[in-house]
Amino acid sequence: KTVVVSDDFDLGLVFLTKDAPVSPIPLARSCGAATEGGKVTLTAYGTTSESDMGTLNTVELTVAKLACTEFELGCASFGASGSYLVSTPGGMCGGDSGGPLFVVNQYGKFVAGVVSGPVQTETSDECIDWQQALYPRPDTVVAWIEEQIGEKLMEPTCTAGTGGTGGTSGTG
């Protein structure tokens, strides 16, 4: 198998045939967990104007809700209640879907979420940076990920300055 998409969450996995040219970034669990009111960084290739299509953009956001349960916000549309993080308005643009949301702290850099879409239901090819966005939290679907890859994910090393090493399975 090369790609697996969850029927229950707005997440998927891509299986590589060889090691990636970059080091993996661990999931935000234990020492790398996002916190309500905490800062997160969105990094994605979405467009903010016609001239920057394909440009890697980064923006700092604040976690508005760590475990969103409100159906009207779209949080219960996919997956279990509470499996979505919601950011404050600003930052997400058309084309950002699938981009990572990072937590960076004294222990390193961790994947806290994956861009799913805007809280509001309107769709547009233009930047929707005025809306809150939904991010499925990979830490809430570790069991599904482990089932798909056929092994346990290691917990991140929670020692300051380690860069969060040890958060991946280590297979290539």
**What's the pLDDT score for residue 150?**
92
CB atoms < 10 A from the CB of 165, how many?
Answer: 15
**What's the pLDDT score for residue 147?**
92
Rg (CA), the chain: 16
**What's the pLDDT score for residue 131?**
62
* 11 phi/psi in degrees, rounded to 5: -140, 155
Q: What is the pTM of this model?
A: 0.75
CA separation for the pair 133, 112 (Å, rounded): 13
Per residue of the chain (172 residues), give pLDDT as tens. Answer: 688 887 777 778 889 999 889 888 888 887 777 888 888 888 888 777 666 667 888 888 888 777 776 655 555 555 555 566 677 666 677 778 888 889 888 888 898 888 877 665 454 445 544 466 777 788 888 888 899 999 988 777 777 665 555 444 433 3
Q: Is 83 left (phi over 0), alpha (psi -120 to 50) or beta?
A: alpha
